[in-house]
């Protein structure tokens, strides 16, 4: 018989509520970030179950992943929720599309011929598409699949809390971050184990190891790290920071065997596991490690994903992993909770290369605010990590890392250079905008985005010197005007169909543009005032074609870029033979940036019970710039009580245009600058940033939070600490106990109230 059907825990339930809300808002795509160990695949199954109840039948589901192991694990998870459902497989040598849930390989389905075969055999479009570990696949493969499928809803899942990958992936999912609960949230909620990170100064000189295609040369790296001196350095930390079960990540098979033999000579029960003859059995090694019959398992690229050994209480990073995503996946192998396990020990080597700077930055990002790696290294500012977590980097290693801190004349330039250095690839303008920075400020100092990119020496890397001028298809001037945004939609549809150079029939262009607009409720609201449509979401097809022909298509044909020939929009773009792909890539970058910028402003000006404000500077401290009171006459005015995400009561002073004073109730000192820096880091409000806060009105008053799904507090709104009796509560108060330790009082429990 199948095991009992599980129930969602509190984090999964919060995510399910957020997914229900985003679909109610009319959105068709969204990203959910959930750390390893919080059950993101189970969350997807729970959400499909919600859809089943709504439809009254089992939905047609497509589950996409990049590895067969992930598909197999997902199938096992879905079987727990749907024991009677039919499963099909579209991976490796299988092409079975007859089932309620189809588990498919991204690599196979993204091939044009295979995608055509799937669409032909599957019949109707799926009701629900789940893209697991969405950060792994390229934008091209995902766009190719999602553009052809047109599913009811697309859920992108990722376990990485790295905001840089998030900023890139969001563009595939309509810039809709539905929910975020990263490692820090899981630790704060007690779902994951806290960690103690120890960064040791590496004895390897990484300047002597060739660096190609964002990776160290494998042979040179394996030879450099396989030394007695390095192992002796590890052994001192091994004996100082003790544990009972260790995963040791190595560079190569020879390195794993070397480390295993070295540890065995010192009495450690260790084995080496790798994908080649001579390896110890993987499953047996993990079983013995869990049972305490082994002390350590040395592995090579096998345990980054899909391994669940909760008893692991030490992770050793002997390989200088180039990817922060893989680094966090390896860290996550030891974060599962287990009886008798108080914390995870992490022993890492920090060397003289910029990849190590990115690893430290990734760890710092797990805090409750966006702390700065510069402040940590140069000023010793400790990040606000989850309870029980710590980062301890040796002074010698800190000195090495300081040399890799990029310098920039403005915040946008500094962040651009930092991201480029960490990834060996420049960020796009839309990525910077999603991270809270304002690339448009570069227009004043450099003349424009691509002018800045060219001065940084990054334009030639894409072979884009000739068509740079042609990439300025985006209209100039006030780029927030509705008609110009509709022109951006035309370009986006052409780009999605690889038709920027060849054009498209006007009728097909109008139909696809409407389908694109339906994915963005904010853009559809802009059409509510068009009198020819009783409901722009379901317009008469002929009227819609006429409207689209008279507006964005006419605007394009009045320029030199396009003309109408035989009822077809025909491009006349200034690209040379062979430059079409580069022109399309640069145009897409500008279009995506414009749309991200416009959508963020629409969301900030949203009507109803919420409004967003940008964080600016008064030349000394960060303050809050309010929306126009002419557009939002319902804004608070004067002294107003507002609650923070953790429930703390503050009093904000709302003036005509700004809010520059806020303080906790019962205090007289303005603490708004400290609050904003705690949420957004020391750069809050500086020129080039665009951080925002959101005020929301509820039945019990106003609430304020950072305008992102990044912060999920330990005590979410609607949760209260309850005493077993009035006597117990009064006794606790009379004892003059510390308020922040109330959760540790005898008999206390946290109760979630049934509030939205």
Longest dimension (CA), the chain: 85
Sheet holding 128-131, edge to edge: 87-90, 101-105, 61-65, 128-131, 153-158, 29-34, 177-181
Angstrom distance (rounded) from CA 466 to CA 620: 43
**Sign of torsion, CA 634 640 645 647?**
negative
**In a 10 Å sphere around its CB, with 0-12 CB exposed, 13-18 middle and 19+ buried, how is residue 428 labelled?**
buried
Angstrom distance (rounded) from CA 423 to CA 677: 26
For residue 332, the surrounding DSSP H or E stretch is: helix 324-332
Angstrom distance (rounded) from CA 146 to CA 629: 41
Are 141 and 65 a contacting pair, CB within 8 Å? Answer: no
Q: What does the pLDDT read at residue 444?
A: 76
Are 391 and 383 a contacting pair, CB within 8 Å? Answer: yes
Q: Which residues contact 76 (CB under 8 A, 6 or more apart)?
A: none
Q: How many H-runs (helices) and E-runs (strands) does the chain carry? A: 28, 29
Half-sphere exposure of 645 (CA within 13 A, CB side): 18
Angstrom distance (rounded) from CA 631 to CA 657: 12
Q: Which residues contact 17 (CB under 8 A, 6 or more apart)?
A: 756
Angstrom distance (rounded) from CA 35 to CA 235: 30
Are 175 and 200 a contacting pair, CB within 8 Å? Answer: no
Angstrom distance (rounded) from CA 612 to CA 707: 7
* Beta-bridge partners for 346: 197, 315
Q: Say which DSSP state 73 is in.
A: H
Neighbouring C-beta atoms of residue 669, cutoff 10 Å: 8
Among the listed residues 385, 383, 42, 325, the one whose alpha carbon sits nearest the alpha carbon of residue 166:
325
Block residue for tokens 């150079």 = 501
Are 312 and 297 a contacting pair, CB within 8 Å? Answer: no
Whole-angstrom CA distances from 444 to 448, 449, 590 are 8, 10, 17
Are 178 and 53 a contacting pair, CB within 8 Å? Answer: no
Q: Say which DSSP state 299 is in.
A: E
Among the listed residues 416, 425, 433, the one whose alpha carbon sits nearest the alpha carbon of residue 594:
433
Angstrom distance (rounded) from CA 128 to CA 102: 11
Angstrom distance (rounded) from CA 1 to CA 676: 53
Are 90 and 107 a contacting pair, CB within 8 Å? Answer: no
Neighbouring C-beta atoms of residue 431, cutoff 10 Å: 26
Angstrom distance (rounded) from CA 529 to CA 19: 29
Among the listed residues 353, 398, 316, the one whose alpha carbon sits nearest the alpha carbon of residue 221:
353
Q: What does the pLDDT read at residue 129?
A: 95
Q: What does the pLDDT read at residue 321?
A: 83
Q: What is the phi/psi pair of residue 594, to 5°?
A: -60, -45
Angstrom distance (rounded) from CA 590 to CA 575: 17
Q: Say which DSSP state 456 is in.
A: T
Angstrom distance (rounded) from CA 9 to CA 43: 10
Q: What is the CA radius of gyration of the chain?
A: 27
Please indicate, yes or no, whether the overall pTM of this predicted structure exceeds 0.95. Answer: no
Are 297 and 289 a contacting pair, CB within 8 Å? Answer: yes
Angstrom distance (rounded) from CA 703 to CA 187: 25
Q: Which residues contact 511 (CB under 8 A, 6 or more apart)?
A: 541, 544, 545
Q: What does the pLDDT read at residue 53?
A: 94
Among the listed residues 25, 129, 170, 143, the one whose alpha carbon sits nearest the alpha carbon of residue 537:
25
Could you write out the DSSP letters of every residue in 45-60?
Answer: HHHHHHHHHHHTSPPP
* Beta-bridge partners for 435: none
**In a 10 Å sphere around its CB, with 0-12 CB exposed, 13-18 middle and 19+ buried, how is residue 202 labelled?**
buried
Angstrom distance (rounded) from CA 383 to CA 372: 8
Q: What is the phi/psi pair of residue 686, to 5°?
A: -70, 155
Angstrom distance (rounded) from CA 352 to CA 106: 36
Are 693 and 706 a contacting pair, CB within 8 Å? Answer: yes
Residues constituting the chain: 756
Residue stretches of the chain with pLDDT short of 70: 2, 122-124, 135-139, 160-168, 302-308, 368-371, 406-409, 422-424, 460-483, 575-578, 603-609, 699, 708-719, 721, 727, 731-748, 750-756
Q: Say which DSSP state 725 is in.
A: S
For residue 173, give both structure tokens: 């999912």
- Three-class DSSP category at 562: strand
Are 711 and 651 a contacting pair, CB within 8 Å? Answer: no
Angstrom distance (rounded) from CA 550 to CA 532: 13
Block residue for tokens 């651009």 = 416
Q: What does the pLDDT read at residue 37?
A: 81
């Amino acid at each position: 018989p199948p095991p009992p059907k599980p129930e969602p825990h509190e984090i999964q339930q919060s995510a399910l509520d957020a997914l229900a809300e985003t679909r109610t808002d009319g959105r068709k795509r969204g990203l959910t970030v959930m750390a390893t160990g919080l059950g993101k695949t189970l969350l997807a199954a729970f959400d499909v179950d919600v859809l089943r109840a709504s439809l009254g039948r089992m939905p047609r589901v497509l589950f996409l992943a990049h590895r067969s192991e992930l598909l197999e694990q997902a199938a096992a998870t879905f079987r727990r929720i749907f024991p009677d459902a039919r499963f099909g497989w579209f991976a490796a040598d299988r092409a079975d599309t007859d089932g309620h849930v189809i588990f498919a390989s991204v690599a196979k389905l993204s091939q044009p011929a295979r995608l055509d075969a799937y669409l032909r055999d599957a019949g109707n479009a799926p009701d629900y598409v789940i893209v697991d570990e969405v950060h792994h696949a390229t934008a091209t493969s995902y766009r190719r699949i999602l553009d052809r499928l047109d599913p009811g809803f697309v859920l992108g899942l990722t376990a990485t809390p790295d905001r840089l990958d998030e900023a890139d992936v969001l563009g595939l999912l309509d810039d809709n971050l539905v929910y975020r609960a990263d490692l820090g949230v899981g630790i704060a909620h007690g779902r994951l184990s806290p960690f103690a990170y120890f960064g040791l100064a590496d004895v390897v000189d990484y300047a002597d190891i060739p660096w190609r295609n964002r990776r160290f040369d494998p042979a040179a790296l394996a030879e450099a790290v396989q030394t007695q001196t390095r192992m002796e350095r590890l052994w001192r930390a091994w004996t100082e920071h003790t544990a009972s079960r260790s995963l040791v990540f190595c560079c190569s098979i020879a390195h794993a065997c070397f480390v295993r033999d070295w540890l065995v000579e010192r009495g450690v029960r260790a084995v080496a596991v790798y994908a080649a003859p001579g390896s110890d059995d993987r499953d047996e090694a993990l079983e013995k490690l869990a049972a305490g019959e082994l002390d350590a398992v040395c592995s090579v690229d096998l345990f980054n994903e899909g391994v669940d050994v909760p008893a692991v209480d030490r992770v050793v990073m002997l390989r200088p992993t180039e990817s922060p995503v893989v680094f966090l996946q390896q860290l996550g192998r030891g974060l599962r909770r287990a009886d008798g396990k108080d914390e995870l020990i992490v022993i890492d080597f920090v060397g003289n290369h910029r990849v190590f700077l990115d690893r430290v930055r990734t760890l710092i990002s797990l805090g409750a605010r966006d702390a700065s790696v510069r402040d940590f290294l140069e000023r010793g500012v400790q990040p606000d990590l989850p309870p029980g977590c710590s980062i301890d980097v040796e002074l010698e290693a800190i000195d090495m890392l300081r040399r890799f801190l990029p310098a920039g004349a403005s915040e946008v330039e500094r962040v651009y250079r930092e991201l480029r250095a960490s990834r060996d690839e420049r960020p796009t303008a839309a990525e910077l905008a999603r991270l809270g920075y304002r690339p448009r400020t570069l227009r004043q100092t450099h003349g424009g985005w691509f002018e800045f990119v060219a001065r940084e020496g990054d334009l030639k890397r894409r072979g884009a010197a000739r068509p740079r001028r042609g990439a300025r298809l985006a209209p100039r001037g006030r780029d927030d005007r509705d008609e110009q945004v509709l022109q951006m939609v035309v370009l986006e549809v052409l780009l999605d169909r690889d038709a920027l150079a060849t054009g498209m029939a006007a009728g097909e262009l109008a139909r696809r543009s409407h389908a694109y607009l339906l994915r963005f409720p904010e853009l559809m609201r802009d059409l509510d005032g068009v009198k020819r449509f009783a409901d722009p979401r379901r317009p008469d097809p002929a009227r819609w074609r006429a409207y689209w022909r008279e507006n964005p298509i006419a605007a394009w044909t009045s320029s030199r870029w396009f003309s109408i020939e035989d009822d077809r929009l025909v491009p006349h773009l200034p690209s040379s033979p062979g430059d079409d792909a580069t022109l399309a890539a640069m145009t897409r970058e500008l279009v995506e940036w414009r749309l991200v910028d416009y959508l963020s402003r629409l969301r900030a000006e949203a009507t109803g019970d919420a409004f967003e404000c940008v964080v600016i500077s008064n030349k000394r401290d960060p303050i809050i710039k309010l929306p126009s009171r002419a557009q939002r006459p319902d804004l608070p005015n004067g002294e107003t009580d507002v609650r923070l995400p953790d429930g703390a009561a503050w009093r904000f002073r709302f003036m005509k245009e700004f809010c520059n004073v806020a303080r906790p109730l019962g205090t007289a000192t303005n603490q708004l600058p400290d609050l904003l820096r705690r949420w957004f880091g020391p750069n809050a409000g500086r020129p080039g940033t665009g951080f925002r806060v959101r005020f929301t009105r509820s039945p019990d008053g106003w609430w304020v939070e950072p305008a992102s799904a990044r912060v999920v507090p330990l005590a979410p709104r609607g949760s209260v600490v309850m005493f077993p009796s009035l006597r117990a509560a009064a006794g606790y108060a009379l004892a003059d106990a510390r308020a922040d330790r109330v959760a540790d009082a005898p008999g206390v429990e946290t109760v979630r109230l049934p509030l939205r």
